[in-house]
Amino acid sequence: MKLRGALLIGLAATACNEPYSNEDLLFLKALPPELQVELPGATATTTSSIGTGVCAAPSPDFTPAKFYCDANKAASDINAVLDTVLNLVGSIAAYPPTTRDTDLRIWGPFPIENGLEAALSIERIRTSTGTLVRYTGSSEPALVYERFRFAISARKQGEGEWKGLVYGESAPTGEAGTRMGWLALDFDAQRTLDPTKTDRGAIGIAYDTRGGKTILNVYADVARYTPMFDPEAAYFYEAPGDGSGTFLFYQRANVIETTEALETMWIQVRWRPDLRGRADVVVRDGDAAPQEYWVVQCWDPNFAAVFQTTNVPTNDYPNIGQVSACGPELQ
């Protein structure tokens, strides 16, 4: 979504120097925070698609951990999506609301590109008995008495139905500097307003940064032929704050190119504070059926492969080393 510049222009035209109230700040905290999938060793790169990436090797005798590099590329792709959304939301939050009510704040509407106008709304929902929320699959449930729902909506200027382009929910955590909630991007809604757009489907993002951890779940349903709990691609990231972490992602793609059938590939990457790590890869369905192919790969702190084993019946993934090279926590 290339809305950020247009939104800034519209906001600059309507902004004033009115200060924020304490209540305004409470509403602004409902917006999603800066979120990133952070894998160690950002210098590791990949040059092709998931499962076939090739790292930039510093020397001929260096065997790169290609599945770690593929995970790094997937993380970079996710971070680009997160940056687009968070920059958009953050640009709006730089200005005071145009409408204030007890449980509502509205920014806009203001003109954006191609004859459209947009508005941001944040609504507070209060319950006396509390609501149990759990935004990510590995989060601890929390009882909250306030939730905030936000939406960036757009329509043709001065007419037509408002379409939600970005929307979500968050809840106070009781911990300073932490957030939990979810948000979604609806590319199909954007295309109904602007047929020149080519992005399709929707992306859902859930997050929880309580307790020193960062947990991110990202679901992509590009063709929207499945419900969001069975997406076309999904990413699950968890970093406990001690330098270790886990990044699990899967994708439906033509991994085995015998026919055009789609396979399902799972890659789970785990790493330790000293940067040693392990990838477990599984490919099933499509041309793999009824077989299930797998690869296990471990790397050292320099991201060189020190162990690899597989049941793939080709020479693409030769056996390397012994499993003891993975280290005791990753065997």
The amino acid present at 124, given as its one-letter code, is R
pLDDT score, position 144:
94
What pLDDT is stored for residue 51 in this prediction?
39
- Per residue in 256-307, pLDDT (tens digit) is 888 999 999 999 999 999 989 999 999 999 999 999 999 999 998 888 889 9
Mean pLDDT of the chain: 82
DSSP 3-state of 326: helix
* Mean pLDDT score, 54-59: 51
Q: pLDDT of 159-217, one tens digit each?
A: 888 998 888 999 988 888 888 999 988 888 888 888 888 878 888 899 999 999 999 99
Integer Cα distance of 110 and 103 in angstroms: 22
Domains in the chain: boundaries: 1-12+62-241, 245-331
Helices marked H in the chain? 4-14, 22-28, 66-93, 187-193
pLDDT at 115: 85
116-133 burial code (b ≥16 CB/10 A, e <16): bbbbbbbbbeeeeeeeeb
Instruction: State the distance between the two ends of the chain, measured CA to CA, in whole angstroms.
Output: 42
Angle between helices 4-14 and 66-93 (to 10 degrees): 20
For 66, 126, 238, 314, the CA distances from 264, given in Å and listed in that order, are 19, 42, 22, 19
Across the range 305-318, mean pLDDT stands at: 90
Distances from the Cα of 283 to the Cα of 66, 226, 254, 263, angstroms: 16, 20, 11, 7
Q: Return the HEC string of 85-139.
A: HHHHHHHHHCCCCCEEECCEEEEEEEECCCCEEEEEEEEEEEEEEEEEECCCCCC
Q: What is the model's pLDDT at position 111?
A: 81
Greater confidence (74 vs 58) lies with 74
Count of CB atoms situated within 10 Å of the CB of 290: 6
Q: Mean of the pLDDT values across residues 53-74?
A: 68
Give the tens place of pLDDT for each residue, 133-163: 999 999 999 999 999 999 989 899 888 889 9
Between 201 and 129, the more confident residue is 129
Quote the pTM value. Answer: 0.83
The pLDDT of residue 31:
84
| Amino acid at position 322, single letter | Q
Higher pLDDT: 15 or 311? It is 311
